[in-house]
A and B are shown apart, each in its own frame.
Chain A
């Protein structure tokens, strides 16, 4: 039977009767996550054969495999709610689904990868920690497990950034600094447009699938990640992010028109991501068909 949460929402298990908009909303959240977990490994996959040591390569490979695993977990949740698994990537290839702005870029250098990964990973963790308070419980349970595994990637990102800052030369440290400044606005944008004034009118918030607004998540994220970068020795330019006397974070507002353009396919790596996925699907089609025949 549906249960009530502390927030006053009813929670739903797979076989519970639930309003269509809860089912569709949960399916949409899980579908978006599945696509982004899968495409989101590509900026890292590009670095597999360029990672500077065996250990780093091994950890990168583990991260990639983990994220693909998360993509499949989210896809299975979406499948239970009526989203055919293969359609997730087809919708992306055929332009019906988009990936987050951050995956439309590539890392220019290894030194840039560390701060970029730290920013992305910590933002994703904050987002998962919020979404797992949502009312569709199978998805909430999947997110709790995923979030825990993500914290392992976070440690990895912290460690490799620290390694470059400790053992790298001045040029490499400069690239870490530039990487932070390059990725900060992108990840600020990743958490979505300001919604403090509109959140309560958002149906996903009203039905309990989106427990926190974008602005609240951004504040929670900055609270956690800015001290980490400061401790690492990265300079946080007040023109980029600064804390007001009230404790609230202020930041250079992302150029939302630009973000929209990037998400629509106008980012530097947008086409490369699509091509990669199309190639992978083409290559695997005959095997997937054969497997369907025999199963």
Chain B
């Protein structure tokens, strides 16, 4: 085949048309989405007890939704604050890991999609508690998942998530996002990020007096 041939095709069928198939079933070709296994189908009538059970189950469903950037569930990351059920409506309170987190749209889409399976037909309200996220809200399992992904949570003195050594050097004031501070490990040559520093709650890192570093 010749590349030149591509230039002179009739323009008639060039217009792309959105397909229902796509809207109905979004592909995550490049990210595994284990939420399906967590999906439960509520069939019970609503008594208080059942409402509590259902709320717990829905909370578990949201807890299992993965963060778009790091392979960790929303509860383990400390992003999921609460799930409540009033009347027919599910209210999900989430705390983004930083004020102007660019992932909120994708997280909301994933939460809605998971709840659409677990509580079909229910209205879903997502409330963002901006500024409420704290490093301490990351669970022990979350810390493990983050460590495996090459991240440490702010708090104690930073150690390399890969080899565990404390011979690490900060490589800048902020990294790929203002909520990530880049580090180098001198022990094993790894690069990693510390998340949950002050940059998470500030709009922008404020320049201080220059003392070297980045």
Q: How far is the CA of A176 from the CA of B19 in the complex (A)?
A: 14
Does A244 lie at the interface of the complex (its beta carbon under 8 Å from any beta carbon of B)? no
Give every chain A residue within 8 A of B69 (Cβ-Cβ). Answer: 148-149, 152
Top 6 nearest A-B pairs by Cβ distance? Answer: A69-B176, A14-B189, A295-B212, A62-B102, A138-B189, A145-B150
Give every chain A residue within 8 A of B2 (Cβ-Cβ). Answer: 252-253
Contact residues of B between 155 and 172, Cβ < 8 Å to A = 162, 171-172
Does B136 lie at the interface of the complex (its beta carbon under 8 Å from any beta carbon of A)? no
Of B15, B21, B69, B182, most A-chain CB atoms within 10 Å: B15
Q: How far is the CA of A254 from the CA of B4 in the complex (A)?
A: 10
Does A219 lie at the interface of the complex (its beta carbon under 8 Å from any beta carbon of B)? no
Give every chain B residue within 8 A of A174 (Cβ-Cβ). Answer: 14-16
For A156, the closest partner residue in chain B by CB is B106
Q: Is the CB of A162 within 8 A of B18?
A: yes
Q: How far is the CA of A69 from the CA of B106 in the complex (A)?
A: 21
Q: Is the CB of B191 within 8 A of A159?
A: no
Q: Majority SS of interface residues in chain B?
A: loop
Give every chain A residue within 8 A of B171 (Cβ-Cβ). Answer: 72, 76
Contact residues of A between 90 and 112, Cβ < 8 Å to B = none
Contacting residue for A233 out of B22, B27, B71, CB 8 A? B22
Contact residues of B between 184 and 214, Cβ < 8 Å to A = 184, 188-193, 210-213
Contacting residue for B210 out of A76, A77, A227, A291, CB 8 A? A291
Q: Is the CB of B14 within 8 A of A177?
A: yes
Q: How far is the CA of A165 from the CA of B14 in the complex (A)?
A: 13
Q: How far is the CA of A237 from the CA of B28 in the complex (A)?
A: 24
Q: Is the CB of B15 within 8 A of A170?
A: yes
Contacting residue for A159 out of B14, B15, B106, B212, CB 8 A? B106
Contacting residue for B6 out of A142, A227, A240, CB 8 A? A240
Give every chain A residue within 8 A of B190 (Cβ-Cβ). Answer: 138, 141-142
Residue ranges of A at the interface with B (Cβ–Cβ < 8 Å): 13-15, 55, 58-59, 61-62, 65-70, 72-73, 76-77, 80, 122, 125, 137-138, 141-142, 144-145, 148-149, 151-152, 154-156, 158-159, 162, 165-166, 170, 173-174, 176-178, 180-181, 185, 224-225, 227-228, 231-235, 237, 239-240, 250-255, 290-291, 294-295
- Known pairs A149-B176, A185-B6, A232-B18; list 5 more (Cβ under 8 Å): A69-B180, A141-B150, A148-B149, A152-B69, A181-B14
Task: Encode B45-81 as 1/0 by CB contact (under 8 A) with A.
Answer: 0000000000000000000000011110000000000
Q: How far is the CA of A137 from the CA of B191 in the complex (A)?
A: 11
Q: Is the CB of A141 within 8 A of B162?
A: yes
Q: Shortest distance in angstroms between B112's beta carbon and chain A's nearest beta carbon?
A: 13
Contact residues of B between 6 and 31, Cβ < 8 Å to A = 6, 9, 13-19, 21-23, 26-31
Q: With A72-B175, A141-B162, A177-B14 known to touch, is A58 a contact of B102 (CB < 8 Å)? A: yes
Q: Is the CB of A178 within 8 A of B18?
A: no
Q: How far is the CA of A144 from the CA of B21 in the complex (A)?
A: 31
Q: With A76-B191, A252-B6 known to touch, is A235 a contact of B176 (CB < 8 Å)? A: no
Does B177 lie at the interface of the complex (its beta carbon under 8 Å from any beta carbon of A)? yes
Q: Is the CB of B106 within 8 A of A152?
A: yes
